[in-house]
Chains A and B, each alone.
Chain A
Amino acid sequence: MTTAVKAQLGIAALMFAASPWVINAAPHEATMGLVYKIYFYHMPSAWMFMLAAIVAGVASARFLFTKRQASDATAVAAAELAVVFGLLALVTGPLWARKAWGVWWVWDARLTSSLMLFLIFVAYLLLRQFGGPGSEKLSAGLALFGMANVPFIYVSVNYWRTLHPKTSVVPTLPVEMGRPLWFCVTAFLLLFLALLSLRATLERHRTRIDALYLSHDEA
């Protein structure tokens, strides 16, 4: 573990520990009351989910066309983090929606496409876990196709849903709530970066261990 990663983890941990007080200090929202405070964890989770998905897609494309092992390690790390942060976003979202919209789940375009993207990354991990040798290539293809699929999922879900009556619109957050939100985004981002490099290191270790075992067998 390098010093940079240690520092990132440490600062992220401190910021997470401090975040309840920072969020508590944020002004009360008039129409929704207390429940909007879920937003301060939900939105950074969703953003990190998107970031992880983009990193995984780009790294997969690079791996596919340059065959660099390092890109593959980054892709796996990002895919796993996409599942972790996607899960956070998909669990905190309904908890907020239950109070704000009165239902746990709405077939909103953004929600449904997030769920589909989450499923694609779960499939990615399943493939890595159970696909056996050669599954790096296949999973890189999967991530690449998943990226290309996002706009289609969004458009199709959007039109599929609008055949039904409209649901309410997410209320916009006032400006003075920006500071705690950015505080949380920074904490999540630092944690994301630290975990990304740690998970990529783990993947490189694994490749190296496999190579060592193979050379032992040959000797």
Chain B
Amino acid sequence: MRYLRLLFIVTLLAVPVVGAAQQTPSPDEFVPISEIPAEEQIPAINLVAAAYAFVWVALFGYVWSLGSRLGKAEADLTRLERKDS
């Protein structure tokens, strides 16, 4: 459940990124890099930074969530097995 919640939040955060595409020219007419108006240019460093930050945050978040879920399951398991014996 917690993981799904996390996924939804991350996906929701990704929506504005995709939504911004609406303002750019339609995909059917390919615009080479040089033809984009200056005000629509995004410095490459921002895009690279965003990509790397997203990968790091998402992977770290997933590892953390998996670790906590695993820890909880292991605690449950030992508790139940002790009760069994």
Which residues of A line the B interface, CB within 8 A?
1, 16, 20, 32-35, 37-38, 41-42, 45, 80, 83-84, 87-88, 90-92, 94-96, 98-107, 125-126, 129, 164-168, 191, 195, 198-199, 201-202, 205-206, 208-209, 212-213, 215-216
In the bound complex, residues from chain A placing their C-beta under 8 Å from that of B3 are 80
Smallest distance from the beta carbon of B30 to chain A beta carbons, Å? Answer: 5
Contacts of B83 in A (CB 8 A): 216
Cβ contact within 8 Å between B62 and A84: yes
| The 7 nearest A-B residue pairs measured at CB | A104-B21, A205-B73, A35-B44, A34-B44, A102-B31, A212-B80, A92-B51
* Contact of A101 with B30 at beta-carbon distance under 8 Å, contacts A198-B70, A202-B70, A213-B80 already known: yes
With A105-B18, A165-B28, A195-B66 in contact, do A212 and B58 touch (Cβ < 8 Å)? no
| Residues of B with C-beta under 8 A to A212 | 77, 80-81, 84
A164 and B84 within 8 A (CB): no
Q: How far is the CA of A83 from the CA of B66 in the complex (A)?
A: 14
Residue of A nearest to B19 (CB): A104
Ordered by A's residue number, 18 sampled pairs between the chains whose C-beta atoms are within 8 Å are A35-B44, A88-B59, A91-B51, A91-B58, A94-B18, A95-B50, A99-B33, A99-B42, A100-B33, A102-B31, A102-B33, A164-B27, A167-B27, A195-B66, A199-B66, A202-B70, A205-B77, A213-B80
Residues of chain B lying within 8 A (CB to CB) of residue A101: 30-31
Instruction: Give the complex CA separation of A208 and B59 in angstroms.
Output: 27
Q: Could you tell me if A168 and B32 are in contact, using CB atoms closer than 8 angstroms?
A: yes
Besides A34-B48, A90-B14, A191-B59, 14 other A-B contacts (C-beta < 8 A): A84-B59, A87-B14, A87-B58, A91-B17, A94-B17, A94-B18, A95-B54, A96-B51, A99-B47, A102-B32, A103-B27, A104-B21, A106-B27, A164-B28
Task: Choose from B10, B70, B77 the contact partner of A208 (Cβ within 8 Å).
Answer: B77
Evaluate contact between A102 and B24: CB separation under 8 angstroms: yes
User: Are B74 and A91 neighbours in the complex by a CB distance under 8 Å?
Assistant: no
Residue interface bits B67-82, CB-to-A below 8 A is 1, else 0: 0011001101100110
The answer to whether B70 touches A88, judged by C-beta atoms less than 8 angstroms apart, is no
In Å, the complex CA distance between A84 and B57 comes to 12
A103 is contacted by which of B11, B17, B24, B81 (Cβ under 8 Å)? B24
B62 touches A42 (CB 8 A): no
Minimum CB distance partner of B81 in chain A: A212
Expressed in whole angstroms, the Cα–Cα distance for A70 and B45 within the complex equals 45
Cα of A9 to Cα of B80 in the assembled complex, Å: 29
Contact of B76 among A129, A164, A209 (CB under 8 A): A209
B24 (CB) vs chain A CBs: closest residue: A103
Which residues of B lie under 8 Å from residue A88 when comparing CB positions? Answer: 54-55, 58-59
